[in-house]
Structure 1
Amino acid sequence: MKDANVFVPGAGRDQAWPERPRNRIDRERSKNRIDLARVVSRARGVDQRDWVYWVKKGVKALTYYAGLHPASLRLGEGEAAILFYHKVQRRPVGVWGEPVLDVHAFEEHVAFLARQYQPVLLSELVAGLEGRARLPRRAVALTFDDGYRNNLYLVAPILARHGVPATIFITTGLVGTDGWMWGYELEEIFSRSPPEQVCQASEDPAIMRLGSLGLGPRVLMSACVEYLKELPHESMLDIVGRMRAKFPVPVNDENRFLSWEEVRELAHQGFELGAHTRSHPILTRLPLAEVERELRSCRDTLEEKLGVRPALFSYPNGATCPEVTALVGRYFQAAVTTRSGLCTRTSELLELPRIGAPVPVSELAFDLVWKVSP
């Protein structure tokens, strides 16, 4: 199937299959082949057996436990940090045996932030950046993307114990469904089934090639996800659909989404709720008309269900471009990306950076102190 403009390692240059760009957003990307060697290189970054990974981890732990991370060194006047999470789970390891953010690790995060920083709602942080309100020294805002049930049953009680507020970005089309975020779904599929067979089920030449390279299951899964993120949205959906049809997996509790009743309960508890599109596409892979439909539908549904029009938005996968950002500005006051860095009063309100909250707390402390401002 000729789904993408792909260069397959080990194949001749005549085996790059161009697809006409769907819109001007994809036009620039279509000039370059999707180089699977580059995709694999990025995927190897998740392999914790890499010695560089462990050295960095050790340095961060040393600075934390040796007390070399005084919060006063960072987040001065006019600076703030936005942290982003997705979900918190009960078990301390993921499907590949790697550490993940469980309830214990998350409570360590929250206790540290409450002790050393000034947690605020994202809307309060934005008001401070705009100069409409005072921005507290060492202000941090906690944000959660997607809208998982564990945000209510695991996250909310921990935040309440420490008096820490948070903002949750809701994917409205997945509320109350048994749907998956496709990246997590593929992770579950690859962990349960023979990886090479999963790749064959895609019927995509590039993914089948990845499956023949002898990669470890975790790196192979990550490489497939990285590759799929670079495809036009409809091509990605087709490929994932074929893999899903051959290897169906029911959604588990860790990936189940909130119901509307549960979303309203979060609002009642004081959580701030923002928009995260209707179906969680990578917006730079859609025609602009479809981008606008995603934004408008999500905003209007949240207003209908909650009685309040959302002012905040989170880009799925953090991906944006000038055209998409301009559309977001028509519907929302501020928006957050996954670009890493601190916020200042010169930050673009529609492209605010965030720091991905790592595991364990020693790495979070290191990132907050030493993260370079954009």
Structure 2
Amino acid sequence: MKDANVFVPGAGRDQSWPERPRNRIDRERSRNRIDLARVVSRARGVDQRDWVYWVKKGVKALTYYAGLHPASLRLGEGEAAILFYHKVQRRPVGVWGEPVLDVHAFEQHVAFLARQYQPVLLSELVAGLEGRARLPRRAVALTFDDGYRNNLYLVAPILARHGVPATIFITTGLVGTDGWMWGYELEEIFSRSPPEQVCQASGDPAIIRLGSLGLGPRVLMSACVEYLKELPHESMLDIVERLRAKFPVPVNDENRFLSWEEVRELAHQGFELGAHTRSHPILTRLPLEEVERELRSCRDTLEEKLGVRPALFSYPNGATCPEVTALVGRYFQAAVTTRSGLCTRTSELLELPRIGAPVPVSELAFDLVWKVSP
């Protein structure tokens, strides 16, 4: 029997996602159109390590460590890069043993950027793109999403040593709480409990089906997260809350959020602070009236707490659509996505691309040279 939550490839050509499910019936129709095979394929992508992958990594490393990085070939006049990070941690490996951005790797990033490029605040980069100010050659802006405590205690000292500025996007509803970003929370839950048991406890037929496919723990966790990201926000929260109640996991230091006192300290140190919504929903999974509440609440809270109205915004999960972008334009001057690429003077200021900073500095160097403007 076909799973009710799985869109069967070949059963129809239209696999588009309804933009704003308005009621229970619309939400259920939305759930029924998720292509589970595509979800699994995306999840497998995080764990693929074929010979092509390793050859590419080797070429990038050789180019960097042999001093062949041709920085002069890219980021010329009128072109700039925005890098995005989330957090930096002390340990060099993640929950699944994968390399993560630890303090040593991040210091390599910052030293390289300070040496080869011209780091600027995101607002300065935006002003340059608009023509309101001169855009430095090889301009690059560092941005951090969510608002983790390690941005103050691990990131800030490294940036200060190299004189590099940065912009941090704050999720206001999580400031000063012991809350989790739900994707990281599920990662911890899956790593501590039998994955198939976690899937059963979700009560969701598609997740239960995923748990029966014999996927490795890391791929299974990633597939569940990818699936949840495609659900309407209410439906996703219901499942996450169910798992949270069944498998409580206290937030750890690597995932703890800033307090308002710490946010103000970052502002005092010269960090630029932008908005990242109140509760970090995927905005394309919300009704537009709720999107507007998220934007307005975040902007107003930051203004109340810091005395400055934020002009910059980062889309949670990088997701937007024309209707959401139009709403963002009512509240902010510029916004960044997770769409990969370089910025130019023709870039849409409310949908600026960013480059996700990879762990090895050799790959960062390669991406800055060979990424193309969208």
Query: What displacement does 1:262 show?
Result: 0.1
Determine helix, strand or coil for the equivalent of 1:81.
strand
Query: What displacement does 1:300 show?
Result: 0.1
Determine helix, strand or coil for the equivalent of 2:169.
strand
> 2:299, 2:356 → 1: CA distance?
25
Q: Which runs of 5+ in 1 are unaligned?
A: none
Within 5 Å, give how 1:128-143 maps onto structure 2: 128-143=128-143
Residues 312-367 of structure 1 deviation map (CA, whole Å, 9 limit, x = unaligned): 00000000000000000000000000000000000000000000000100000000
Within 5 Å, give how 1:45-194 maps onto structure 2: 45-194=45-194
Q: 1:214 to 1:24 in 2, by over 3 A?
A: closer
> 1:44, 1:4 → 2: CA distance?
23
Residues 143-179 of structure 1 deviation map (CA, whole Å, 9 limit, x = unaligned): 0000000000000000000000000000000000000
Query: What displacement does 1:49 show?
Result: 3.4
Determine helix, strand or coil for the equivalent of 1:14.
coil
Task: Kindly indicate whether the alpha-carbon contact (under 8 Å) linking 1:167 and 1:273 is maintained by their aligned counterparts in 2.
Answer: yes
> 2:304, 2:210 → 1: CA distance?
45
Query: What displacement does 1:123 show?
Result: 0.2
The 4+ residue runs of structure 1 with deviation greater than 6 A are: 1-4, 8-20, 23-29
Query: What displacement does 1:22 show?
Result: 2.5
**Of 96-105 and 239-248, the range deviating more from structure 2:** 239-248
Q: 1:78 to 1:18 in 2, by over 3 A?
A: closer
Query: What displacement does 1:58 show?
Result: 1.5
**Of 352-361 and 50-59, the range deviating more from structure 2:** 50-59
> 1:186, 1:157 → 2: CA distance?
30
Q: Report the TM-score when normalising by structure 2.
A: 0.94
Query: What is the aligned-residue RMSD (CA, Å)?
Result: 3.3
> 1:172, 1:355 → 2: CA distance?
24
Task: Kindly indicate whether the alpha-carbon contact (under 8 Å) linking 1:48 and 1:54 is maintained by their aligned counterparts in 2.
Answer: no
Determine helix, strand or coil for the equivalent of 1:144.
strand
Q: 1:26 to 1:323 in 2, by over 3 A?
A: farther
Query: What displacement does 1:10 show?
Result: 14
Task: Kindly indicate whether the alpha-carbon contact (under 8 Å) linking 1:122 and 1:141 is maintained by their aligned counterparts in 2.
Answer: yes
**Of 269-278 and 27-36, the range deviating more from structure 2:** 27-36
> 1:320, 1:175 → 2: CA distance?
24
Q: 1:12 to 1:84 in 2, by over 3 A?
A: closer
Q: 1:199 to 1:24 in 2, by over 3 A?
A: closer
Residues 218-269 of structure 1 deviation map (CA, whole Å, 9 limit, x = unaligned): 0000000000000000000001111111111000000000000000000000
Query: What displacement does 1:198 show?
Result: 0.4
Q: 1:174 to 1:260 in 2, by over 3 A?
A: same
Task: Kindly indicate whether the alpha-carbon contact (under 8 Å) linking 1:172 and 1:278 is maintained by their aligned counterparts in 2.
Answer: yes
Q: 1:310 to 1:199 in 2, by over 3 A?
A: same
Q: 1:360 to 1:315 in 2, by over 3 A?
A: same
**Residues matched between the structures, number:** 374
1:316 — aligned with what? 316
Q: Does 1:28 align with 2:61?
A: no
Q: 1:86 to 1:13 in 2, by over 3 A?
A: closer
Task: Kindly indicate whether the alpha-carbon contact (under 8 Å) linking 2:20 and 2:284 is maintained by their aligned counterparts in 1.
Answer: no
Q: 1:15 to 1:359 in 2, by over 3 A?
A: closer
Query: What displacement does 1:45 show?
Result: 0.9
> 2:252, 2:6 → 1: CA distance?
33
Task: Kindly indicate whether the alpha-carbon contact (under 8 Å) linking 2:78 and 2:135 is maintained by their aligned counterparts in 1.
Answer: yes
Q: 1:26 to 1:363 in 2, by over 3 A?
A: farther
> 1:306, 1:171 → 2: CA distance?
14
Determine helix, strand or coil for the equivalent of 1:61.
helix
Query: What displacement does 1:2 show?
Result: 13
Determine helix, strand or coil for the equivalent of 1:274.
strand
Residues 40-95 of structure 1 deviation map (CA, whole Å, 9 limit, x = unaligned): 11101111533333222122112212223211010000000000000000000001
Determine helix, strand or coil for the equivalent of 1:7.
coil
Query: What displacement does 1:20 show?
Result: 9.5
Q: 1:118 to 1:10 in 2, by over 3 A?
A: closer
Determine helix, strand or coil for the equivalent of 2:157.
helix
Task: Kindly indicate whether the alpha-carbon contact (under 8 Å) linking 2:275 and 2:313 is maintained by their aligned counterparts in 1.
Answer: yes
2:348 — aligned with what? 348
Task: Kindly indicate whether the alpha-carbon contact (under 8 Å) linking 1:8 and 1:15 is maintained by their aligned counterparts in 2.
Answer: no
Task: Kindly indicate whether the alpha-carbon contact (under 8 Å) linking 2:288 and 2:324 is maintained by their aligned counterparts in 1.
Answer: yes
Q: 1:329 to 1:20 in 2, by over 3 A?
A: closer
Q: Which runs of 5+ in 2 are unaligned?
A: none
Q: Report the TM-score when normalising by structure 1.
A: 0.94
Residues 90-148 of structure 1 deviation map (CA, whole Å, 9 limit, x = unaligned): 00000100000000000000000000000000000000000000000000000000000
Q: 1:242 to 1:71 in 2, by over 3 A?
A: same
Q: 1:32 to 1:366 in 2, by over 3 A?
A: farther
> 1:18, 1:126 → 2: CA distance?
32
Task: Kindly indicate whether the alpha-carbon contact (under 8 Å) linking 2:201 and 2:243 is maintained by their aligned counterparts in 1.
Answer: yes
Q: 1:23 to 1:169 in 2, by over 3 A?
A: farther
Q: 1:297 to 1:17 in 2, by over 3 A?
A: closer
Residues 6-28 of structure 1 deviation map (CA, whole Å, 9 limit, x = unaligned): 33799999999999932899899
Q: 1:47 to 1:151 in 2, by over 3 A?
A: same
Determine helix, strand or coil for the equivalent of 2:31.
coil
Determine helix, strand or coil for the equivalent of 1:372.
coil
Q: 1:214 to 1:143 in 2, by over 3 A?
A: same
2:6 — aligned with what? 6
> 1:79, 1:25 → 2: CA distance?
46
> 1:81, 1:215 → 2: CA distance?
37
> 1:368, 1:24 → 2: CA distance?
45
> 1:25, 1:119 → 2: CA distance?
49
